[in-house]
Amino acid sequence: MNGKQSKAIVKKNHPLLAHFKRFYWLYVFLIPGLLSIYLFKLSPMYGLQLAFKDFSLAKGVWGSEWVGLEHFRTLFKSVNFLRVLKNSIVTSVLRLLWAFPFPIILALLLNEMKNEKYKRTIQTIVYLPHFISWVIVITMVTALLSKSEGVINTLIVACGGEKIDFLTSTKWFRPVLIASSIWKEAGWGTVIYMAALAGVDVQLYEAAMIDGANRWQRLLHITVPCILGTVTIMLIMKMGDILNNGFEQIWLLQNAPNKEIAEVLETYSYQVGLREGRFSFATAIGFFQSLVGMVMVFLSNFLSKRMGGNGLW
Amino acid sequence: MVKTTIKKNTKIKESIPERIFAVCNYILLTLVAMAMLYPVLNIVAVSLSNYNEYLKAPWIILPRRFTTAAYELVFENAYFWRSYLNSIIVTVGHTTLSLMVTALFAWPLARKEVKGKSVLMAILIFTMVFNPGMIPNYLNIQKLGLLDTLWALIIPGTFSAFNCVIMMSFFRELPYELVEAAMVDGGSEPYIFTKLVLPLSKPVLASVTLFLAVGTWNSYFGAQIYISDRDLWPMALTLKEILMTASTQLLEAESDPMALSSAFTEVKTRTIQYASVVIATLPIMCVYPFLQKHFSKGVMVGSVKG
């Protein structure tokens, strides 16, 4: 009672002042986060000007000369860049087609399991690969697929086939990449969908069962619509990654013979920027990547909402 | 809630196609689980086996001619321990810091009283979709004087938009009457947050802690860019060196060459590699079972509307 009365009295003075007086702590809570965003997200932005400058170590970032869109022009004339750009897009589209649906299907199947104990055991196992680093996963992939000692090639030979050059051929690079992604992340990807599935109202299923709906109908008309929102949000976020394939996995799988196909924007800009010291050029690549990602997120969010679906915001 | 459905499900008779589906489902998921488990078992088995046995049968899932020689070699490597320690420092530091910063940011976002949430949401979405890029980040770390220090792996990225969304979604689902009751009782906001909200949010805190810890422990990219001093390398980068490049040379240089050559007939590259892998993954595997049970309740991803 006391608190409410005092609130009413202060409110007469100035509503905004009263509000801050009462809730200032909530704004204080935001400070560390804002500071972190300022230091590591906003403050690096000054480096973006390098994309429009000719960076020289002696003159520094601010002192270097402006060259306008010169670097972007060189970028889109460079055969190498266009090849790497194509690789990035093809790889992430393949990932979207193969690796994105996998966790959803897995989660739906897990959800159909009625034996709780068995289900939990399976979950514990399929989550496990996520906790293994790329370095280790790629070591395992190399060991399994190697021509000399690999289990897979031993099996192929035993079945009368010929050894396949998985690791150093351009033909097999993408299948190996996608398969290792699925192995590592598919199980983990179910976590978010499982949480969404756990939130589905049980009464819906009960009502449907009384109405005589079978398993398939329940899945199609209750379960799927209920997790569609989560799927949309995940998809929108993935759209922003259309040019991003991550560095670690590809860097480890990449070698001289498969580089033609393997190289993506991340590994390319690392090579060009930090190894060869062409800072401006690499900054331009990164800037382009971020812009495309941003446009894709906004576009897919807009389209999703336009079609009556969920949006990220 | 789940248990009641099981009881009710069994009451209604299932049709034959439904039963066939259920059986196939069990078989399929068991196969998937086996495919995920097999390489892990294989690694452990090989690391504990004699190298010649590995060459004869690389697919083993149980050790053959059991030996811990590979482990002894890895244990002797002072360099390995140094990076192990670095990884622990970085992982604990980054995880704690990031958890605090992100939770503190997510709580006001979940509160209806807070004004200007649309601005905060815009900032959140911006940090989620825009990344300045490798070179600007590098120059920024350089400018802050963090190059070649462990801080370069601890403080950047302490605010994670994705984790913030997960926490916010969870906080929004908390019974709001409790917060209101505490406010009426005159509880201060820090009190409400630490004594009421955080204890109720264990599932989400456990999940995010694990996300953060695993991500930090396993990542080598940051160290590869920011840290050239080998004494400051985290485990992941050292492991990459051991596994990918000069696997034996590194061990040779760091441990006693005499001891190495005598042991060399027994232990070869692959077993040493796998022993390092097992040791490097052990901490994560120890924490995992304790935090895993919270996942299903902890990880909700909702819309970020203000």
- The token pair at A101 is 């649906």
Assess A2–B contact: CB distance below 8 Å, yes or no: yes
Could you give the 3-state DSSP secondary structure of residue A167? coil
Mean pLDDT of chain B, nearest integer: 84
Supply the DSSP string of chain B, one letter for each residue.
-HHHHHHHHHHSPPPHHHHHHHHHHHHHHHHHHHHHHHHHHHHHHHHTS-HHHHHH-TT-SS-SS---HHHHHHHH-HHHHHHHHHHHHHHHHHHHHHHHHHHHHHHHHH-TT-S-HHHHHHHHHHHHH----HHHHHHHHHHTT-TTSTHHHHSTT-S-HHHHHHHHHHHHHS-HHHHHHHHHTT--HHHIIIIIIHHHTHHHHHHHHHHHHHHHHH--HHHHHH---GGG--HHHHHHHHHHS-HHHHHHHHS-HHHHHHHTTT--HHHHHHHHHHHHHHHHHHHHHHHHTTHHHH--------
Which pLDDT tens digit goes with each residue over B83-137? 999 999 999 999 999 999 999 999 999 998 888 889 999 998 888 888 889 999 9
Among partner residues A29, A34, A127, which is closest to B107 by beta-carbon distance? A29
pLDDT band at B54; cut points 50, 70, 90: confident
Question: Which value, to the nearest 10 degrees, does the dihedral of the CA atoms of residues B10, B15, B21, B23 take?
Answer: 60
CA gap A188, A127 in Å, rounded: 5
Mean pLDDT of chain A, nearest integer: 88
Amino acid at A10: V
Assess B178–A contact: CB distance below 8 Å, yes or no: no
Assess B142–A contact: CB distance below 8 Å, yes or no: no
Which residues are CB-contacts of A278 (< 8 A; sequence separation ≥ 6)? A272
Among partner residues B55, B140, B295, which is closest to A149 by beta-carbon distance? B55
Assess B273–A contact: CB distance below 8 Å, yes or no: yes
Domains and CATH numbers, chain A: 2-46 (no CATH), 79-306 (1.10.3720.10)
Assess A233–B contact: CB distance below 8 Å, yes or no: yes
Contact between A23 and B114 under an 8 Å Cβ cutoff? The reply is yes
Among partner residues B136, B155, B302, which is closest to A47 by beta-carbon distance? B136
Interface contact flag, B301 A4, Cβ < 8 Å: no
Report, in angstroms and rounded to the nearest whole number, the Rg of chain B calculated over CA atoms: 25
- The token pair at B304 is 């970020």
- What pLDDT sits at residue A39? 94
Instruction: Give helix then strand counts, H and E, for chain A.
Output: 18, 2
- What pLDDT sits at residue B304? 59
CA gap A106, A129 in Å, rounded: 15
Distances (CA, A) of B43 to A133, A182, A212, B63, B271: 14, 19, 49, 10, 9
| pLDDT of A18 over the 90 cut | no
- The token pair at A57 is 């170590």
Contact between A209 and B12 under an 8 Å Cβ cutoff? The reply is yes
Interface contact flag, A287 B304, Cβ < 8 Å: no
| pLDDT of B58 over the 90 cut | no
Q: Could you tell me which of A108, A271, A269 has the C-alpha nearest to residue B132?
A: A269
Closest residue in B to A182 (Cα–Cα): B36
| pLDDT of B260 over the 70 cut | no
Read off the pLDDT of each residue in B223-227 and give the average, rounded to a whole number.
Answer: 95
CA gap A228, A241 in Å, rounded: 20
Read off the pLDDT of each residue in A177-198 and give the average, rounded to a whole number.
Answer: 91
The distance of Cα A139 from the centroid of its chain, to the nearest Å, equals 22
- What pLDDT sits at residue B246? 42
Rounded to a whole number, what is the distance in Å from the CA of A75 to chain B's nearest CA?
16
Q: Provide, rounded to the nearest whole percent, the portion of chain B with pLDDT above 90.
A: 42
CA gap B41, B277 in Å, rounded: 12
Supply the DSSP string of A218-274, one letter for each residue.
HIIIIIHHHHHHHHHHHHHHHHTTTT---SHHHHHH--GGGHHHH--HHHHHIIIII
| pLDDT of A201 over the 60 cut | yes
CA gap A51, A171 in Å, rounded: 34
Interface contact flag, B243 A199, Cβ < 8 Å: no
- What pLDDT sits at residue B267? 52
Lowest mean pLDDT among A209-218, A264-273, B131-140, B144-153: A209-218
CA gap B48, B192 in Å, rounded: 51
Contact between B141 and B156 under an 8 Å Cβ cutoff? The reply is yes
- Kindly indicate whether the ipTM for this predicted assembly is greater than 0.95, answering yes or no: no
Interface contact flag, A29 B104, Cβ < 8 Å: yes
Q: Exposure of B126 by Cβ count < 10 A (0-12 exposed, 13-18 middle, 19+ buried)? A: middle
| pLDDT of B241 over the 90 cut | no
**CB contacts, 8 Å: A143 with chain B:** 58, 270
| pLDDT of A1 over the 50 cut | no
CA gap A199, A103 in Å, rounded: 17
Lowest mean pLDDT among A177-191, B26-40, B219-233, B235-249: B235-249
Assess A124–B contact: CB distance below 8 Å, yes or no: yes
Lowest mean pLDDT among A31-45, A191-205, B92-106: A191-205
- What pLDDT sits at residue B263? 45
Q: How many other C-beta atoms lie within 10 A of the C-beta of residue A97?
A: 10
Interface contact flag, A29 B144, Cβ < 8 Å: no
pLDDT band at B245; cut points 50, 70, 90: low
CA gap A134, A268 in Å, rounded: 19
Assess B120–A contact: CB distance below 8 Å, yes or no: yes
pLDDT band at B301; cut points 50, 70, 90: low
> Which H or E run contains A1?
none
Give the residue from B37, B47, B55, B134 with the most A CB atoms within 10 Å of its CB, the best one to mutate: B134
Read off the pLDDT of each residue in A120-143 and give the average, rounded to a whole number.
Answer: 90
Rounded to a whole number, what is the distance in Å from the CA of A245 to chain B's nearest CA?
14
Highest mean pLDDT among A69-78, A196-205, B267-276: A69-78
Give the residue from A48, A120, A135 with the most B CB atoms within 10 Å of its CB, the best one to mutate: A135
Contact between A101 and A231 under an 8 Å Cβ cutoff? The reply is no
Read off the pLDDT of each residue in B193-213 and give the average, rounded to a whole number.
Answer: 91
CA gap A289, B133 in Å, rounded: 8
pLDDT band at B251; cut points 50, 70, 90: very low
Across the A:B interface, residue pairs with CB atoms under 8 Å apart total 298
- What pLDDT sits at residue B247? 39
Domain boundaries in chain B? Answer: 15-67, 71-306
Interface contact flag, B102 A33, Cβ < 8 Å: yes
Could you give the 3-state DSSP secondary structure of residue A161? coil
The distance of Cα A309 from the centroid of its chain, to the nearest Å, equals 21
Side-chain half-sphere exposure of A305, counting CA atoms within 13 A: 10
Read off the pLDDT of each residue in A162-168 and give the average, rounded to a whole number.
Answer: 87
Which pLDDT tens digit goes with each residue over A63-79? 888 888 999 999 999 99
Distances (CA, A) of B173 to A7, A147, B101, B293: 27, 53, 20, 19
Contact between A103 and A186 under an 8 Å Cβ cutoff? The reply is yes
Which pLDDT tens digit goes with each residue over A89-117? 999 999 999 999 999 999 999 998 888 89
Q: Exposure of A258 by Cβ count < 10 A (0-12 exposed, 13-18 middle, 19+ buried)? A: buried
- What pLDDT sits at residue A153? 87
Interface contact flag, B9 A114, Cβ < 8 Å: yes
CATH annotation of B71-306: 1.10.3720.10
Supply the DSSP string of A36-85, one letter for each residue.
HHIIIIIGGGGGGGGGGEE--TTTHHHHSEE-TTHHHHHHHH-HHHHHHH
Q: Which residue has the tokens 């398969």?
A: A179
Interface contact flag, B296 A194, Cβ < 8 Å: yes
Q: Could you tell me which of B280, B274, B277 has the C-alpha nearest to residue B51?
A: B274
Interface contact flag, B301 A230, Cβ < 8 Å: yes
Supply the DSSP string of B212-241, one letter for each residue.
HHHHHHH--HHHHHH---GGG--HHHHHHH
Residues 42-101 of B with CB under 8 A from A: 42-43, 55, 58-59, 100-101
Lowest mean pLDDT among A46-50, A145-149, B36-40, B41-45: A145-149
| pLDDT of A11 over the 70 cut | no
Closest residue in A to B276 (Cα–Cα): A136
pLDDT band at B57; cut points 50, 70, 90: confident
Assess B187–A contact: CB distance below 8 Å, yes or no: no
